[in-house]
Structure 1
């Protein structure tokens, strides 16, 4: 009987020791996900998804911009933003207001598009875009 109790105590001690080794409170023991395994949308994909989610209602269904027109917008905006131009300039004197040949965009939706475009293609400019639009009441 004494031998069986010793065996049970030894087995319990080994189990607790093994369990203690595997559940360290120190998070440095846990593997960290590598940056290469994290998935980040490409700017074109992020832009398309954000446009679909934005629900732009000022574009008529039968005269909405083509994929090529939609993809060109934020690239032109970001180029101008990086040159130091304002959103007001983009959509005014800059001639980059998203109106196309037969589709138009309301001012509030144009502001939304510039924000989404900056978020996707030039995130370093996005804060400035949002700040400008907040200051003018457009965001």
Structure 2
């Protein structure tokens, strides 16, 4: 007489043989962490972050928003922020506005350190004179 086989679903058969439930998630080997992708972060920098530093990870977005101002017939305007190393921080967008504001968006590309810089200058109304002052702005970004 021939052998009779019962049909058992593969996952259940594996669970019966190994003693591990068929729905168990794979475990990491001792001392190893499961590789979990970290979602990209968004970092916003403003006038008050001048001379500061931040840490970012590859893939993170960094937005710079600098606010100009106007007083006594003078408009203090920002230049478009730039990166000292485009291999570390790549500029993806940048602009200036008539009111003196400037903004830029960067993407952290590779490990390293880069500095984001901009300058504020005076733009006078007709009949006004600006002081000969240039105000630097910078933030150091370390990408790990």
TM-score (norm 1): 0.27
More strand by share: 2
Query: Comparing both structures, which one devotes a greater share of its residues to helix?
Result: 1
Normalising by structure 2, we get a TM-score of 0.26
